[in-house]
């Protein structure tokens, strides 16, 4: 891998295996945070990667650079996932370019970062979160899953959250959106079986750029989360990427409609 001031090797915790050698993997929201880690991990495992972004163009270009430095092909695409028309146009472009996706990871989600309490709810923020988390995820599954059915193979991983276990007194609309993803996952898993598998992955708290700059995170929230996490630490997104991508590999060929969590035990009952 080449090195530059803008491109540093990613310190993946787990060993890297060629689980996606020669395959096309698309990751939404791959310009920053967990999405970037997912795309980089897929590339490290041999994948060609479609890097989607909406506003983080600089980050998407950085992710694509990593993919190419890892030896894979990269295609950058932009779309606002609240728009079905933009999703359709992007999907047509992606499938024409790649010749077919092997895996889609729906990572994009709006967590209402600036909202610190349920008392601060605003209608436009509720609409935005639900449009991104539920509508956007559903339509991405719909459009790409239909094409995967036609090609005779494919795996879809929807990124949910452990918030579906504990809820979110800070942002109830975020919890509602992630609950919706579970329903979308199970519905399309039944509709697409046995040709296309659809599963959901629930990461716990990760120290991403957005988390580290949150007001509540820097005013006691981090310490509270740590005290309630049996594993005793909050990992970087790179540590969770391999587990999420596992759901898109042949190792999970008999798994569909499932929701698995990777949160250090945070949502464990009685923890």
The position carrying tokens 């996606």 is: 20
Q: Which helix (H) or strand (E) holds 95?
A: helix 84-98
Q: Would you tell me how many other CB atoms lie within 10 Å of the CB of residue 69? A: 17
Torsion of CA 207, 209, 210, 215, to 10 degrees: 80
Of residues 53, 174, 188, 266, which has the active-site annotation? 174
With residues binned 3-state (H G I as helix, E B as strand, rest as coil), the percentages for the chain, rounded to 5, are: 45, 15, 40
Q: Give the C-alpha distances (Å, rounded to integers) separating 66 from 2, 7, 15, 47, 79.
A: 9, 7, 18, 12, 21
Q: Would you tell me how many other CB atoms lie within 10 Å of the CB of residue 5? A: 5
Tell me whether residue 174 is one of the annotated catalytic residues.
yes
For residue 167, the SS3 value is coil
**Which residues form the catalytic set?**
174
């Amino acid at each position: 891998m080449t090195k530059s001031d803008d491109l540093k090797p990613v310190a993946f915790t787990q060993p890297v295996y060629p689980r996606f050698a020669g395959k096309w993997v698309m990751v939404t929201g791959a310009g920053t945070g967990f999405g970037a880690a997912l795309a980089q991990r897929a590339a490290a495992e041999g994948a060609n990667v479609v890097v989607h972004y909406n506003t983080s163009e600089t980050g998407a270009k950085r992710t694509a650079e990593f993919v190419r430095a890892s030896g894979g092909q990269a295609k950058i695409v932009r779309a606002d996932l609240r728009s079905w028309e933009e999703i359709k146009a992007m999907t047509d472009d992606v499938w024409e370019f790649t010749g077919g996706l092997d895996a889609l990871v729906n990572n994009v989600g709006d967590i209402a970062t600036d909202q610190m309490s349920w008392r601060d709810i605003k209608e436009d923020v509720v609409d935005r979160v639900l449009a991104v988390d539920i509508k956007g995820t559903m339509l991405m599954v719909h459009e790409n899953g239909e094409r995967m059915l036609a090609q005779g193979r494919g795996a879809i991983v929807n990124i949910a959250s452990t918030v579906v276990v504990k809820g979110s007194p800070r942002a109830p609309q975020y919890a509602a959106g992630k609950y919706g993803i579970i329903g979308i996952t199970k519905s399309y898993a039944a509709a697409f079986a046995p040709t296309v598998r659809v599963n959901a992955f629930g990461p716990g708290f990760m120290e991403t750029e957005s988390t580290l700059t949150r007001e509540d995170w820097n005013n006691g929230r981090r310490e509270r989360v740590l005290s309630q996490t049996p594993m005793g630490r909050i990992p970087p997104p790179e540590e969770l990427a391999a587990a999420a991508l596992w759901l898109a590999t042949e190792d999970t060929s008999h798994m569909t409609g499932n929701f698995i969590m990777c949160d250090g035990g945070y949502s464990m009952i009685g923890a």
